[in-house]
């Protein structure tokens, strides 16, 4: 945070700032499976972006806290290379994708038991529906852990929402593709299982 404040209060050379951004990218990429460390470096990058957007010297456009991360950075063909703002925009988007891609395989591992396994929906001989919330418990625990790590890293709420929108979209499209490519899953029982499982996930999102 002291380094970020220094960037904001002093006239630092752009080359020096670019070196810091390269270091952040290197540390984040090498975090690999360490989600906590990846969230930390993502938060640092977002914090630098926020401070430079408030700087009169750099004249950044946008509002990272209000609008979140975007991938609309375009390089100018007449320039010698990317500007600090373009580099930051690309770095933020890259780290955003790294977090999502680290969570996607874990979601894949949980979708089967959450929505498609024989335990996802159980109806006894009297046609009484057994509480299916336990089937999505693992998925909800995963999302809860991710939420906690992002809060601990102080990732901006707007960016946190972006990440969860991407994860929910991934869950929805994965379930849809699975149904489209697996005809034997297109049954009323599986449909009810998916509907009830998603309702528990939706309830968790609203409460969180």
Each residue's pLDDT tens digit, 30-66: 987 899 999 999 999 998 888 888 877 666 777 888 8
Each residue's pLDDT tens digit, 153-167: 999 999 999 999 999
Give the per-residue pLDDT at 120.
45
Q: Which of the four pLDDT bands, split at 50, 70 and 90, describes residue 2?
A: low
Give the per-residue pLDDT at 83.
81
Percentage of residues in the chain having pLDDT higher than 70:
78
| pTM, two decimal places | 0.81
Of 51, 79, 76, 77, nearest to 64 by C-alpha is 51
Q: What is the mean pLDDT of the chain?
A: 80
Each residue's pLDDT tens digit, 111-150: 887 777 654 444 444 444 445 556 788 899 999 999 999 9
């Amino acid at each position: 945070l002291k380094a970020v404040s220094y960037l904001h209060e002093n006239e630092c050379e752009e080359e020096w700032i670019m070196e810091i951004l390269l270091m952040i990218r290197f540390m984040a990429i090498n975090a690999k499976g360490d989600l906590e460390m990846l969230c930390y470096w993502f938060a640092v990058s977002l914090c630098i972006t926020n401070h430079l957007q408030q700087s009169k010297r750099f004249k950044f456009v946008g509002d990272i806290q209000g609008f979140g991360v975007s991938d609309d950075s375009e390089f100018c063909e007449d320039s010698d290379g990317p500007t600090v703002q373009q580099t930051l925009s690309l770095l933020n988007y890259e780290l955003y994708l790294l977090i999502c891609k680290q969570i996607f395989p874990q979601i894949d591992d949980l979708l089967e038991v959450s929505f498609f396994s024989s335990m996802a929906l159980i109806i006894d001989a009297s046609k009484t529906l057994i509480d299916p919330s336990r089937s999505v418990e693992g998925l909800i625990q995963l999302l809860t852990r991710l939420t906690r790590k992002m809060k601990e890293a102080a990732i901006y709420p707007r960016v946190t929402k972006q990440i969860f929108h991407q994860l929910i979209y991934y869950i929805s499209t994965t379930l849809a593709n699975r149904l489209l490519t697996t005809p034997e899953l297109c049954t009323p029982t599986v449909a009810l299982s998916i509907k009830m499982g998603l309702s528990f996930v939706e309830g968790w999102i609203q409460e969180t």
